[in-house]
Structure 1
Amino acid sequence: MKKLKSNIYFKIGIIIFLILVLMIPTSMVENLIHEREQVQSSAIDEVSSKWGKGQTISGPFISIPFDKYVNKYNKKDSVNEIIKIKQWAHFLPEKLNISGIIQPEKRNRGIYEVVVYESKLKIEGNFDNIDFKNLDIDKKDVHFDKATLNIGINDLKGIEKQVSIKWNNQNISFNSGTSTKEIISSGINAVVPIANDSMQTYLFSTEIDLKGSQYLYFTPVGKTTDVRIKSNWTTPSFTGTYLPDDRTVTDDGFDSKWNILHLNRNYPQEWVGSKYNIDISTFGTDLLLPVDNYKKSYRVARYAILFLALTFLTFFFVEIMRKVFIHPIQYLLVGMAIIVFYVLLLSFSEHITFNFAYIIASILTLSLVSLYTMAILKSKQIGFLIFGILFIMYSFIFTIIQLEDYALLIGSSGMFIILCIVMYYSRKIDWYNINLDEKESLSN
């Protein structure tokens, strides 16, 4: 048993085994991070469901029903019958201009912050040449008196007051719901007068006061679509199929402009039925909170095996060079201290900034491991050595987390330097004739 305790290869095997065992609580920490992130998402969803969810404005577009006659074989009488079915033709505007102001604010649900907003949107434009000839539809089969103007809105409880549209100098109130689900499933509609004359031009304008949370998106349904959004929010994320042609982000907020042509999207100006999906062309703004503690905590946790390996490697070289014996239980306790570091980091980062949380958790962990090392090895010099090595390692990981775009470059360079240091200090060790001297052991 004594020979086994001082056998260097047995010690290496024990260290590798402990690292593998400690990966189990590490995976539990990663699951905890994911769980806390889900709790945050639930808090955001709860507030959003009461205030108004993320909003997408789809439209406006005109939907007009018409009768279509098709042949149907009657098996009972063995004859062909002509039956009439109702279908919808959809027309998009020639020009669409949207301008708006977003006024966001932060709401709290427990320890979590949620971004909600109130917006004032002005939508105007025109429809030209609503012509059924391109769709191969006879005008006599068209129900012009049932034409509706539809605007898609994701969450209707975000509408703050009655919405009406100015349609060729005529004010018309909107109704809840859409006239057809072929393009959008949620929104508002207004019955608008459409003449039988295909050369008629229709001007429209409306204003919508809309509440929502997290984001505000639009669909470029106009042959030419111009969107301009202003806000006092300082951390926007412009996302979707199209980025702004012009954007300005300052400490006072942002101002963004989009100009999109019908040639930039993959659906036409008119069609029948539900053959096209306009949602694939949405674009807009996410109102991001500058908080990514869960993402960063998860990234730090992915380096757990590196933390454990380098820490145990440091203790292993201390054993070899100082001829001391460190018990596997003591390795295990140091490893558990490293695992607790991630829990401290996660819990602190939910209440303070991630960088400050990392500093506090690192200092606590480094102090604990260093003081423990001094106690078991009865050497302040080794304790300070361990503190310095761990300080460099934790600083290295912190740098990788901050420089996300250069993480691979910095990480690979750092690993190469560490390998060089290990090879340098181990170059004169005779691995075939090395044993830990139990007589000089300073611990059990």
Structure 2
Amino acid sequence: MTPPPYQPESFFDRVNAWLRTSTMIKLAVVGVLVLILLIPTFMLENLIREREATRTEAIREVSEKWGGTQTVSGPILSVPYLIHTKGVDGKEETSTAYAHVLPDNLAITGTLQPEQRNRGLFQVMLYNTRLTIKGSIPRPSPERLGIAPADMQWDKAFVSLGVTDMKGIKDQVDLRVDGKALAVEPGIPTTDVLESGVSARVPIADSITFDCALNINGSSDLYFMPFGKQTTVSLTSPWTTPSFVGASLPDGRTMTNKGFTANWKVLQYNRNYPQQGVGAFLSRQIGNNPDNRESVAANTSFGVRLLLPVDEYQKTMRSAKYGVMFIIITFTAFFFVEILNKQRIHPIQYLLVGFAVCLFYLLLLAISEHITFNIAYGISAAVTLAMISSYVRYVFKNGRLTILFSSVLALLYGFFFSLLQLEDYALLLGSLGLALILGIIMYLTRNVNWYRAYEGA
């Protein structure tokens, strides 16, 4: 039989053969696929932020009706005084300003009762607190403040107590000065020091002693202002996962599975503002605009935040940030199966496995909104592993390689789960893990001739 006539290999045949057998070209293709998979990865991160924003909006809506983050300030004593100036026509004009004095000592004790509410899928952390506030306030010194004693309007003096969100006040505010109950009214005659709260007219002696009972609702955070020469706060609560926030940490705290007790002690030397002043003496001007001011005292507040045991969005976002690394490691394993087993894998097969890896993070986000994060992670990892293992069984056509590859993926999911749990040691553990992976790759490929990697395939 006469053999068919020889036909020279076409240019396109040579190019196609070169593309199929070139290691560098395959690496470049894999790199392009990784870049393509960055798109769904970034989309997943945006979806997580969107769901977190939805939860924040749900918290805001519930807080608006219950009471927002509360800051308790004072009480402080304010006395109006007259200011005499001359107008453009030379006539004397009189206006009113206020002298303010902060407490000598301020002692606050109370209980914090947490309450969880659900808005759709989202949990909102609320609380009710009952506070007892005691202390004493001295009579302001006109001479020290540069005010003529005759200009002081002692008969119009008042005591004010700052409460950030007035909607949270649940009962009549019981304020006593020198043992006598005062008629407490909403609002403060001047916003020099406090933006919102309650106030009461008070007779002035050399000094006054006060005690106040306050019952308020709030959301998530409760803060106190250290307005006393010595401010002490003692707070107890059955909540087991508090976070102590603000400018001062508790001097003593006890946390058990039944709740916490925390005690603060803050001195006037721990803050940078005086005990008495005139006008907005706790604010400072910013720039050249006199109306643009910021509170000097705002950065001295301290208190407690009631943390939810698990923030699933924060952990899911941290998981998604490892997504690119997970895809690269998975593709690297695919690539070395090609090299070591002479088993070509098409770029489309790389891409399908990459999409399955991305699907893990979407499953994790969706499931963690309904159950605990750790269980959601396990379910998502199991579903993804089952999907990829079933697929690569037909790609590799080798049971041993399928088991090995699936085991590597399972170890990777376990490794990244460990990184999420060990937040403080995540960098150390991650660096050691990557060093181990690189060492294993170098060992397995030590005898590979990369110039002839695909020969015999």
Question: So what's the TM-score if we normalise by structure 2?
Answer: 0.91
Corresponding residue of 1:388: 407
2:171 paired residue among 136, 140, 161: 161
SS at match of 2:141: coil
CA distance in 1, matches of 2:453, 2:396: 20
Contact 1:7 1:436 in 2 (8 A): no
2:259 paired residue among 242, 253, 260: 253
Corresponding residue of 1:124: 134
Deviation for aligned residue 1:201 = 2.1
Q: Does 1:28 pair with 2:43?
A: yes
Q: How many residues in Structure 1 have an aligned counterpart in Structure 2? A: 429
1:330 paired residue among 349, 353, 357: 349
Q: Does 1:236 pair with 2:242?
A: yes
CA distance in 1, matches of 2:306, 2:422: 23
Deviation for aligned residue 1:376 = 2.1
Q: How does 1:62-211 map to 2 (within 5 A)?
A: 62-72=77-87, 74=88, 80-195=90-205, 200-211=206-217
Deviation for aligned residue 1:81 = 4.9
CA distance in 1, matches of 2:346, 2:451: 22
Contact 2:136 2:207 in 1 (8 A): yes
RMSD: 1.3
Percent of matched pairs sharing the same residue: 44
SS at match of 2:343: coil
Q: How does 1:177-326 map to 2 (within 5 A)?
A: 177-195=187-205, 200-276=206-282, 277=295, 278-326=297-345
CA distance in 2, matches of 1:144, 1:280: 32
SS at match of 1:405: coil
| Letter of the 1:165 counterpart | L
CA distance in 1, matches of 2:395, 2:440: 26
| Letter of the 2:402 counterpart | G
1:15 paired residue among 22, 30, 52: 30
Deviation for aligned residue 1:130 = 2.3
Contact 2:37 2:355 in 1 (8 A): yes
2:431 paired residue among 399, 405, 412: 412
Corresponding residue of 2:290: none
Deviation for aligned residue 1:315 = 0.5
Cα gap change, 1:436 to 1:9, in 2 (>3 Å): farther
**Structure 1 gap ranges (5+):** none
Corresponding residue of 1:370: 389
CA distance in 2, matches of 1:406, 1:112: 30
**Structure 2 gap ranges (5+):** 1-15, 283-294
CA distance in 2, matches of 1:382, 1:427: 19
Q: How does 1:336-351 map to 2 (within 5 A)?
A: 336-351=355-370
Question: So what's the TM-score if we normalise by structure 1?
Answer: 0.94
Q: Does 1:432 pair with 2:451?
A: yes
SS at match of 2:232: strand
Deviation for aligned residue 1:213 = 1.4
